[in-house]
Chains A and B, each alone.
Chain A
Amino acid sequence: MFRHLFTLIWNKKGQHVLLIIEMVVSFFVLFAVFTLMAFCFNNYRKPMGLTDRDVWIATYNNTMETNDSDSLLTFYETLRRTVATLPHVEGVSYMTSNAPFANSTIQTGTQYRDIKVTGVDIYRTDMHLAKVLGMVVTEGRWFDNTDKASTTQGVVINETLRERLFGNKNAVGEFIGEDYKSEGNKGRGPRVLGVVKDAKFKGDYSTVSPAMFVRADSTDYKWLGSMIVKVAPGSGIAQEGRLYNTLSRTMKGSNIDVQHLTAQRSSINNLALVPLIVSSIVAGFLIINVALGLFGVLWYTINKRRGEIGLRRAIGATGSSVSGQLVAESLILSTFAILIGLFFAMQFPLLHVFDLATGIYLTAILLSVVSVYVLVFLCAIYPGRQAAAIYPAVALHED
């Protein structure tokens, strides 16, 4: 049966080349869009790892003229306490400009023994951040008051970095960085104090890079620039104005901007969705285009084969076997196209292009294959039904 259909298709290969090209191209378009979608969806499914409700972020620039780190620290610690005592404030923490959903990234590299990891997000912050952002410590602990006196630099890493550096070995208490071997640096760190759950600092649709949180020392306060404030539920404009005034009166001459983390999150998410929406619209249009073209061409060829179909009906083929044959022919045609497409699409997971997980590519390939089949099936079914309705007498009479 199939061999017979193949022969039929093969005899008319010249006419089908264009159709096949069209299907191959639409397969690629679908593959690209589905890859993007699968990537975003896969990230979206993972837990957020931080709370953005009732969290505000104030950005400022340091205007303190002094270079004396102790007086800097005193100034910012006093400011922190002042803000923390405002009636609606539940927690305050400082961090570098790469705050959640901010358009800023600071990266470094680190190593443990011989395992090097690059592209590690580094956040300098204080002992309050985990509580303020609702981050979950899974092993060890976050920074606390005891670190102030310690000569060892403590870091907290996220699960992704823990996985890369330590696999399933013990992480807490280990020294990381380049100098873990040399005697002089032993005991100075950085030393892993704890591990936190991955938090999506770049929005719902982003992947989590390996990350480390470093306790800011007094010299770092010159550069921090973000204050994260956890407020009581129901705080509004009045409270925000109050926070703003407190900050601008204490930090004379600083440029201050208060934003809500929820709003920042939705805007960074919208930004991530724009390419997805645009490519979906374009792809949707191209697919409609292809569908109409296929439909037209199939319809036309079936009309041209009235004689052949009439003959088949005259010697006893049922209507459904005629339409079945036509649909099967179209599906075989699309199988050719899909095989060509698969050959190229499979290179992506094999060669690890774009560093995406293999599962994402495979999902996208599966979805594309199914979509192309469904598309062709839908385009072939109506002309097939029409062909089945041909009366043999009429068709043969025409010839």
Chain B
Amino acid sequence: MLKNYFKIAIAVLQRRKFFTFLSLFVISFTLMLLTVLASFVNKMFNDNYPDRKRDRSLYINAVTMTGPESMNRSMLSKSLVDDYINKLKTPVSVAISTWASSTNTYLNNKKISLQYKYTNAAYWDVLDYDFTEGKPFSRQQLDNAERVAVISEHLKQEYFGGGEVVGKFITADDIQYRVIGVVKDVAASSQMFFSDMYLPYTVSKKDYRKESGYFGSFRVILLAGRVADVAKMRQEYEHMASKLPITQSGYDKIESKAQDYLHAFLDFGRLGTAGNVYLAIAIFVCLVMFLPAINLVNINITRIMERSSEIGVRKSFGATSWTLTGQFIIENLILTLGGGLLSIPLSLAALALFNYLSLIDHFHLSLNVPVLLLSLLACIVFGLLSGVYPAWRMSRMHVIVALRTAS
């Protein structure tokens, strides 16, 4: 049966080549747009370099103190980490890092702009950076406040031009650091982990040990031993945070959230809540799909009217409306899947163009399995969307009318 439908579909598609081209163009271009959007969103939210242990991690961006008149929200202080967070029972490891700051360095008549961030040694256990050379700094080196640096591939190219660089020296903010490791670039969109240089926080000019109170300049990642412990870890942390003694006057409530990656990322980029972001994407997708869908419905209706003789004959031989509707929807799905296949090379070209323009540093889009599956789903939705109404219209045709117009 299906084989027959398939044969009919191919025959019909060859009948009016211009309309077939129209449908295929509309479908493949729409799907290309959606595929690019899907791979963008996927890269933004699901790219798990360097935090491959995301399912076991909780991210803490800020502490918030509120009072009747005032509110203060800021990153965490070193003393809060030492005195409270490190004493929690569930986390097996606690990574801390500062926000990346920019500076420049001048090298034989060339200016290099770079960003650096301070971290602790556990940062390298919690996150899985890919080292192309050397290794991260150890707890020992951190405690000794050695001036060592882990740098990114990009900075290595800019500053040294290539070759082996471990053991060489690099100057930033007028201080010399010894390079001990080189890591693969992180996309600039994952601001929590992106930097050109990673330094032990003990070498910072700002003395973090002097940060009193709870407010400071660190964000924290808690790592649980097992996925099952994450909920417990979150409860433990948030309970601890709400019980912190309040020393400043004018405040009566303190809280700090340990969030999963997605919420922390959106919260961090001030993008609003996850719900809003999804809503914005959904509206965009609807807009992009709505017009082409109506268009296809239009084209499909005109094509069906051409086949009224076929419909009339089949109906008079006893085919039910359901059979005809089903047949037409299947034909339409075959067409959309064809468009879907066409959209893959188009998407590849669009992604290549996007990567070539490199609007965001080290942010490269690629087609991967989840994105392709999403596109396939979009394809099927699209096929149904543009096939159901015309098919229903067709199946309602009276036999007599159908046969007469087929003169």
- Seen from chain A, the residues whose Cβ lies within 8 Å of a Cβ on chain B are 15, 18-19, 21-22, 25-26, 29, 63, 237-238, 240-241, 244-245, 248-249, 252-259, 274, 282, 285-286, 288-290, 292-293, 296-297, 299-301, 304
A248 touches B302 (CB 8 A): no
8 Å CB contact of B291 from A29, A255, A301: A29
Name, among A19, A255, A296, the residue most crowded by chain B CB atoms within 10 Å (CB to CB). Answer: A296
Task: Tell me the smallest distance from the CB of B196 to a CB of chain A, in Å.
Answer: 13
Q: List 17 A–B pairs whose Cβ atoms lie within 8 Å, in order of A's numbering.
A: A22-B295, A29-B287, A29-B291, A237-B106, A237-B111, A255-B101, A257-B102, A257-B104, A286-B288, A289-B295, A290-B291, A290-B295, A293-B26, A293-B294, A293-B299, A296-B19, A296-B302
Complex Cα gap A83–B206 (Å): 24
8 Å CB contact of A22 from B288, B298, B305: B298
Complex Cα gap A292–B296 (Å): 10
A286 touches B292 (CB 8 A): yes
Name, among A18, A29, A289, A301, the residue most crowded by chain B CB atoms within 10 Å (CB to CB). Answer: A289
8 Å CB contact of A289 from B26, B287, B359: B26
List chain A residues, Cβ under 8 A from B292: 286, 289
List chain B residues, Cβ under 8 A from A300: 302
8 Å CB contact of B103 from A19, A21, A238, A256: A256
8 Å CB contact of A237 from B30, B110, B298: B110
B103 touches A255 (CB 8 A): yes
Residue B69 CB within 8 A of the other chain: no
List chain A residues, Cβ under 8 A from B103: 255-257
Residue B25 CB within 8 A of the other chain: yes
A285 touches B101 (CB 8 A): no
Task: Tell me the smallest distance from the CB of A31 to a CB of chain B, in Å.
Answer: 13
B301 touches A18 (CB 8 A): yes
Complex Cα gap A293–B25 (Å): 11
Complex Cα gap A258–B26 (Å): 49
B301 touches A25 (CB 8 A): no
Residue of A nearest to B101 (CB): A255
User: Do A18 and B298 contact each other (CB < 8 Å), given the known contacts A244-B104, A285-B29, A296-B22?
Assistant: yes
Name, among B29, B109, B113, B292, the residue most crowded by chain A CB atoms within 10 Å (CB to CB). Answer: B292
Residue of B nearest to A14 (CB): B393
Q: Mark B282-321, 1 if CB is under 8 A from A, else 0.
A: 0000011011101111110110010000000000000000
Complex Cα gap A249–B352 (Å): 45
User: Do A282 and B33 contact each other (CB < 8 Å), given the known contacts A237-B109, A240-B111?
Assistant: yes
Residue B83 CB within 8 A of the other chain: no
Complex Cα gap A259–B294 (Å): 50
Complex Cα gap A287–B113 (Å): 42
Residue of B nearest to A249 (CB): B174
Residue of B nearest to A297 (CB): B298
Q: Mark B118-152, 1 if CB is under 8 A from A, else 0.
A: 00000000000000000000000000000000000
- Seen from chain B, the residues whose Cβ lies within 8 Å of a Cβ on chain A are 18-19, 22, 25-26, 29-30, 33, 101-104, 106, 109-111, 113, 173-174, 205-206, 287-288, 290-292, 294-299, 301-302, 305, 359
Residue of A nearest to B299 (CB): A296
A248 touches B174 (CB 8 A): yes
B106 touches A240 (CB 8 A): yes
List chain A residues, Cβ under 8 A from B296: 293
Residue of B nearest to A291 (CB): B295
Name, among B18, B111, B288, B297, the residue most crowded by chain A CB atoms within 10 Å (CB to CB). Answer: B111
Complex Cα gap A296–B22 (Å): 8
8 Å CB contact of A26 from B22, B29, B291: B291
Q: Which 8 A-B pairs have the closest CB atoms?
A: A253-B205, A293-B295, A241-B106, A300-B302, A248-B174, A257-B102, A286-B291, A22-B294
8 Å CB contact of B299 from A26, A237, A256, A297: A297
Residue of B nearest to A287 (CB): B291
8 Å CB contact of B109 from A21, A238, A290, A304: A238
List chain B residues, Cβ under 8 A from A258: 104
List chain A residues, Cβ under 8 A from B288: 282, 286
A18 touches B297 (CB 8 A): yes
A244 touches B106 (CB 8 A): yes
A256 touches B302 (CB 8 A): no
List chain A residues, Cβ under 8 A from B291: 22, 25-26, 29, 286, 289-290
B294 touches A18 (CB 8 A): yes
List chain B residues, Cβ under 8 A from A288: 29
Complex Cα gap A238–B110 (Å): 9
B29 touches A248 (CB 8 A): no
Complex Cα gap A194–B45 (Å): 50
List chain B residues, Cβ under 8 A from A282: 33, 288
Name, among A25, A63, A297, A300, the residue most crowded by chain B CB atoms within 10 Å (CB to CB). Answer: A300
List chain B residues, Cβ under 8 A from A301: 302
List chain B residues, Cβ under 8 A from A19: 298
8 Å CB contact of A25 from B102, B294, B299: B294
Complex Cα gap A230–B298 (Å): 62
B359 touches A274 (CB 8 A): yes
A292 touches B25 (CB 8 A): yes
Task: Tell me the smallest distance from the CB of A259 to a CB of chain B, in Å.
Answer: 8
List chain B residues, Cβ under 8 A from A18: 294, 297-298, 301
List chain A residues, Cβ under 8 A from B290: 25
Residue of B nearest to A300 (CB): B302
List chain A residues, Cβ under 8 A from B110: 237
Residue of A nearest to B296 (CB): A293
List chain A residues, Cβ under 8 A from B206: 63, 253
Residue of B nearest to A286 (CB): B291
List chain A residues, Cβ under 8 A from B102: 257
List chain A residues, Cβ under 8 A from B113: 257, 259
B29 touches A289 (CB 8 A): yes
Residue of A nearest to B18 (CB): A296
A248 touches B26 (CB 8 A): no
Complex Cα gap A63–B106 (Å): 22
Complex Cα gap A282–B290 (Å): 13
8 Å CB contact of B205 from A63, A285, A292: A63
List chain A residues, Cβ under 8 A from B22: 292-293, 296
Task: Tell me the smallest distance from the CB of A183 to a CB of chain B, in Å.
Answer: 28
Complex Cα gap A18–B173 (Å): 64
B173 touches A248 (CB 8 A): yes
B174 touches A245 (CB 8 A): yes
Residue of A nearest to B350 (CB): A281
Complex Cα gap A300–B300 (Å): 11
Task: Tell me the smallest distance from the CB of A245 to a CB of chain B, in Å.
Answer: 7
